[in-house]
Chain A
Amino acid sequence: MSAIPADTGPASTGSASTAPETVGEDVLVRVENLVKYFPVRAGGLIRRTVGQVHAVDDVSLSIPRGKTLGLVGETGSGKSTLARCVAGLIPVSSGRVIFDGRDITNLSRGAMRPVRREIQMIFQDPYSSLNPRRRIGAIIGDPFAIHKTATGAERKRAVQELMERVGLNPEHYNRFPAEFSGGQRQRIGVARALALKPKLIICDEPVSALDVSIQAQVLNLLADLQRDYGLSYLFIAHDLEVVRHVSNSVAVMYLGRIGESGPIQPVYGSPRHPYTVALLSAAPAADPDAAAARQRIILTGDVPSPIDPPSGCRFHPRCPKAEAVCGQQEPQLEARAGDAATHLTACHFPVQAGENLAAAGRSEPA
């Protein structure tokens, strides 16, 4: 992932600031200081806004052409909201989304229409992302109909080609979603997303609802498609192993902010942010001996509410390394000493190589 170093542009809290392209890679999507707040309303007759849900709080990232950016986080970290902001499904409170050189932030529906051909989404739940009352031929053919790119027999042919490509039997054109398994339904969703040959596909936890064996099939399909069509993916998940498998780079989100980001190798190999370390330690390891040898880091406490996030570093109430400054000052997202320029961390006391986080503070309770 290519992010812009923090030494240019105005000082901003948390994430990298904006600047013209300084890194060599061809960037398809750039998100700059994206903020999305949802108002919390209360009251009966007259609804007053009593608070804000800080779903996404100043996030910047970019996705290079033909590559995959993984976005990881717990429920409530804001990753789904971020995805929908990029897709233009919900309006942005502030910040920018730049797609293929064009600013597509908060465009009107009419202006957004041509953009929609190039940004598509695949959804998490295979059981509710397809209209149960329509035949899958119609569902997959929807993009052609909406954007008037093919009709009649031509459309049908195109749909059946798509079905073939994702591994479905084209003869099932007239079937209903209820007649397919979960994995097949996700393939239908993929076919629908592919129809107009988009440049970016946002995958919102596309395999979380599937059996592990089916997950592999669908992930392989996605990888094949990326290779064949040069697609870029924004891949959202909460499972780190899945993300490692499919992504070129990863961003870890916590309560609306990015804690750590960078290419897969450095982030997984030497994670710097305590949250990342904790997540990695919780991922199941296939080798039982290695699992036993590993130190589990158990974070205490629950995820705080995004309506009233903690001051300073959002993670500090649960962080084993937290000190006074963590509660007062927001850490900047920047490269740390000894890391590649693309490996960014937002932490006052990044984890060093060889450091035993479990011993540092609250670790496995007795």
Chain B
Amino acid sequence: MSITGIEVAGQEIAAGEGALDASAAKIQGRSQWQLTWRRLRRDKVAMAALVVILIMVVLALAAPVFVSITHHPPNIAYPNTGEDAAGNPVGPGTAGFWLGTDGTGRDLFIRILYGARISLFVGFVTTAIGVVAGVTVGLMAGYFGGFIDTVLARFTDAVLAFPYVVLALALAVVLGPSLIVIIGVIAFFSWAAIARIVRGQTLSIKEKEYIEAARSLGAGPFRIMFLDILPNLLAPVLVLATLYIPTAVVFEATLSYLGLGIQPPTASWGNILADAQNFYQVAWWYVIFPAAALLITTLAFNLFGDGIRDAMDPRTERAFAAGRARRRRGKRQVLANDSQSHLSHAAPYVPPAEGS
């Protein structure tokens, strides 16, 4: 594929500048993203997970549509049709309640949909905040080094070690439990984890020669950070972000469950499940369906995140590892294409910056 520039240059330039532009566009190098997407498309599990995520998003957005179909707004209780003689919830399929009702006779299906809106909103927003803040802090700490780095890194470590429950308690006391508290707590924690990883990556990228080249050209620190270092960080950051969304969703559910987050009557998977505890002996659907929704959502994000991580991993690295393993173990099975990537959920594997 490589052409010795000298021979080709003479022949092909004659075409003129317009043609130059057109053919330059044709010989687009395939960027890292395009290659990643192609690999991802071949991963069936990850694609299935993506479909599930999209379905969830659509359902959540379409919640009002379902309200008009079933005529059951999320916070309206139906003591007559929605509760049986003993005042307990009715099961799925009765009286127009698709998944049954909850403790006060509200439509469970609709409430689950509205809970999905909260969960997904919290998931995306807190991750977005966490990524922006975390990348900025990590970049600056890693690039500037010295005093700034010491201060920022210590601060990040302190935040990471800080138990989130204590912080949630504190904020709940001062501000009262609410959506803001949840977003604040989760974003506060997630940026620190991202910052730490970004800082580590920045430290190693900073030593590369092309950064020195940029400095020799006269580029300022911010240009270098955001134009030279950041593109090499996007891959691990994207993986981190995708794997943080389910963490944020679980966080929100847990805080709402404890009463420190979304308060009833607003529906959240967490507070639904909290109430469901009281009825588990008589209304299994009240526990199972919200739990299933939560599980499916987080599982889908985790699988998709794993898929992205594998798709970004340079294949050569794995092939080498596989070959080495094959030579070692003789008849034993090889590690090729291990899609359940073997590295920690909390500290995702960071693929090397170069290579596509």
Q: Do chains A and B touch in the complex (CB under 8 A)?
A: yes
Known: A116-B217, A131-B232. Contact between A172 and B27, CB under 8 A?
A: yes
Cβ–Cβ contact A123 & B2, under 8 A = no
Cβ–Cβ contact B9 & A168, under 8 A = yes
- Rounded to whole angstroms, the CA-CA distance of A3 and B73 in the bound complex is 90
Known: A134-B231, A184-B5. Contact between A142 and B217, CB under 8 A?
A: yes
Q: Count A-B pairs with CB separation below 8 Å.
A: 117
User: Does B343 make an interface contact (CB < 8 A)?
Assistant: no
Cβ–Cβ contact A171 & B28, under 8 A = no
Task: Scan A159-179; emit 1 where CB is below 8 A from any B CB, else 0.
Answer: 010001011111111111011
Give chain A nearest CB distance to B350 CB in angstroms.
Answer: 15
Task: Scan A80-115; emit 1 where CB is below 8 A from any B CB, else 0.
Answer: 000000010100000000000000000001001100
User: Does A250 make an interface contact (CB < 8 A)?
Assistant: no
Choose among B9, B210, B217 the residue that contacts A167 (Cβ–Cβ < 8 A). B9
Residues in A whose Cβ lies below 8 Å from that of B28: 174-175
Cβ–Cβ contact A133 & B5, under 8 A = no
Task: Scan B11-46; emit 1 where CB is below 8 A from any A CB, else 0.
Answer: 011000100110111111111100000000000000
Cβ–Cβ contact A132 & B353, under 8 A = yes
Residues in A whose Cβ lies below 8 Å from that of B163: none
Known: A170-B13, A174-B29, A178-B355. Contact between A89 and B216, CB under 8 A?
A: yes
Give chain A nearest CB distance to B355 CB in angstroms.
Answer: 7
Residues in A whose Cβ lies below 8 Å from that of B227: 134
- Rounded to whole angstroms, the CA-CA distance of A353 and B262 in the bound complex is 92
Residues in B whose Cβ lies below 8 Å from that of A176: 29-31, 356
Q: Identify the closest chain A residue to B28 (Cβ).
A: A174
User: Does A155 make an interface contact (CB < 8 A)?
Assistant: no
Residues in A whose Cβ lies below 8 Å from that of B228: 131, 134
Task: Scan A111-151; emit 1 where CB is below 8 A from any B CB, else 0.
Answer: 01100110111011100111111110100001100110000
Cβ–Cβ contact A166 & B232, under 8 A = no
Known: A89-B215, A120-B217, A192-B213. Contact between A174 and B9, CB under 8 A?
A: no
Give chain A nearest CB distance to B237 CB in angstroms.
Answer: 13
Residues in B whose Cβ lies below 8 Å from that of A128: 208-210
- Rounded to whole angstroms, the CA-CA distance of A170 and B218 in the bound complex is 25
Choose among A121, A134, A171 the residue that contacts B27 (Cβ–Cβ < 8 A). A171
Residues in A whose Cβ lies below 8 Å from that of B2: 179-181, 184
Interface centre among B17, B24, B214 (most CB of A within 10 A): B24
Residues in A whose Cβ lies below 8 Å from that of B292: none
Cβ–Cβ contact A130 & B8, under 8 A = no
Residues in B whose Cβ lies below 8 Å from that of A173: 24
Cβ–Cβ contact A135 & B29, under 8 A = yes
- Rounded to whole angstroms, the CA-CA distance of A331 and B191 in the bound complex is 59
User: Does B6 make an interface contact (CB < 8 A)?
Assistant: yes
Cβ–Cβ contact B210 & A164, under 8 A = no
Cβ–Cβ contact A133 & B32, under 8 A = yes
User: Does B354 make an interface contact (CB < 8 A)?
Assistant: yes
User: Does A67 make an interface contact (CB < 8 A)?
Assistant: no
Residues in B whose Cβ lies below 8 Å from that of A135: 29
Give chain B nearest CB distance to A137 CB in angstroms.
Answer: 8
Known: A131-B231, A170-B20. Contact between A116 and B218, CB under 8 A?
A: yes
Residues in B whose Cβ lies below 8 Å from that of A156: 21
Interface centre among B1, B9, B25, B219 (most CB of A within 10 A): B9
User: Does A245 make an interface contact (CB < 8 A)?
Assistant: no
- Rounded to whole angstroms, the CA-CA distance of A174 and B356 in the bound complex is 16
Choose among A142, A169, A174, A187 the residue that contacts B12 (Cβ–Cβ < 8 A). A169
User: Does B317 make an interface contact (CB < 8 A)?
Assistant: no
Residues in A whose Cβ lies below 8 Å from that of B32: 133
Known: A171-B24, A184-B2. Contact between A132 and B216, CB under 8 A?
A: no
Residues of B within 8 A of A (CB): 1-6, 8-9, 12-13, 17, 20-21, 23-32, 208-210, 212-220, 223, 227-228, 231-232, 234, 353-356
Across the A-B interface, give the 10 residue pairs with the lowest CB-CB distance, nearest first: A116-B218, A133-B231, A175-B29, A168-B5, A176-B29, A129-B209, A167-B5, A173-B24, A132-B354, A131-B210
Residues of A within 8 A of B (CB): 87, 89, 109, 112-113, 116-117, 119-121, 123-125, 128-135, 137, 142-143, 146-147, 156-157, 160, 164, 166-176, 178-181, 184, 187, 189, 192, 217
Can you list 15 pairs linking A and B with CB atoms under 8 Å apart?
A120-B216, A121-B216, A123-B213, A124-B209, A129-B213, A133-B32, A133-B353, A142-B217, A143-B218, A146-B217, A164-B9, A167-B5, A175-B29, A176-B31, A178-B354
